[in-house]
């Protein structure tokens, strides 16, 4: 019980400071730097999770300079961390655009048609996390 309490207190300390500092089991420092804290998507929608059998999918994307992804939408939440490059995402329904660069965190719009273009000189590298209903896909292409 004491170990659980100590672990809980350590986690609370780690996540309550910006950036947080803690020690790993060997006594070496561990630095936790929060990257994002949001309750809405890029288009202002509340973030809603799948209602049954949630499956987490993690993938990487490498988008060549000048490449534009086809118009698509996501029925479930999708999060992306921009590891490198510059990406412009346009909501084709509203015409609104956001530009993301290395180090940015994207909470993608849900159920809205959009497309993304690499507007930089180098490749865009994304770490993408999807939360879907088990067995479902999270990208629908517009016909």
pLDDT of residue 47 exceeding 50:
yes
Query: Residue 23's pLDDT band (boundaries 50, 70, 90)?
Result: low
| 119 or 18: which leads in pLDDT | 119
Three-class DSSP category at 91: strand
pLDDT of residue 2 exceeding 50:
no
**Whole-model pTM?**
0.77
Mean pLDDT over residues 82-106, rounded?
97
pLDDT of residue 20 exceeding 80:
no
pLDDT of residue 11 exceeding 70:
no
Among 20, 7, 102, 33, which residue's Cα sits nearest to residue 63? Answer: 102
| 4 or 60: which leads in pLDDT | 60
Bond from prior residue into 19 cis (ω within 30 degrees of 0): yes
| 47 or 21: which leads in pLDDT | 47
In the chain, domain spans: 2-32, 54-141
| HSE-CB for 123 with a 13 A CA cutoff | 8
Mean pLDDT over residues 80-86, rounded?
98
Q: pLDDT by residue (tens digit) across 98-116?
A: 999 999 999 999 999 999 9
Mean pLDDT over residues 80-95, rounded?
97
Q: What superfamily does domain 54-141 belong to in CATH?
A: Jelly Rolls (2.60.120.10)
CA distance 3 to 32: 22
């Amino acid at each position: 019980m004491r170990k659980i309490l100590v672990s809980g207190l350590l986690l609370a300390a780690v996540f309550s400071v910006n950036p947080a500092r803690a020690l790993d089991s060997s006594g070496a420092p561990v630095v936790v730097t929060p990257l994002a804290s949001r309750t809405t998507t890029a288009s202002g929608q509340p973030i809603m999770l799948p209602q049954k059998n949630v499956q987490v999918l993690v993938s990487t994307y490498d988008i060549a300079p000048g490449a534009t992804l086809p118009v698509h939408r996501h029925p479930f939440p999708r999060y992306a961390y921009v590891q490198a490059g510059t990406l412009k995402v346009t909501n084709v329904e509203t015409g609104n655009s956001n530009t993301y660069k290395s180090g940015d965190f994207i909470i993608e719009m849900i159920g809205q048609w959009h497309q993304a273009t690499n507007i930089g000189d180098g490749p865009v590298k994304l770490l993408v996390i999807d939360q879907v209903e088990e067995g479902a896909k999270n990208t629908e292409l517009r016909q």
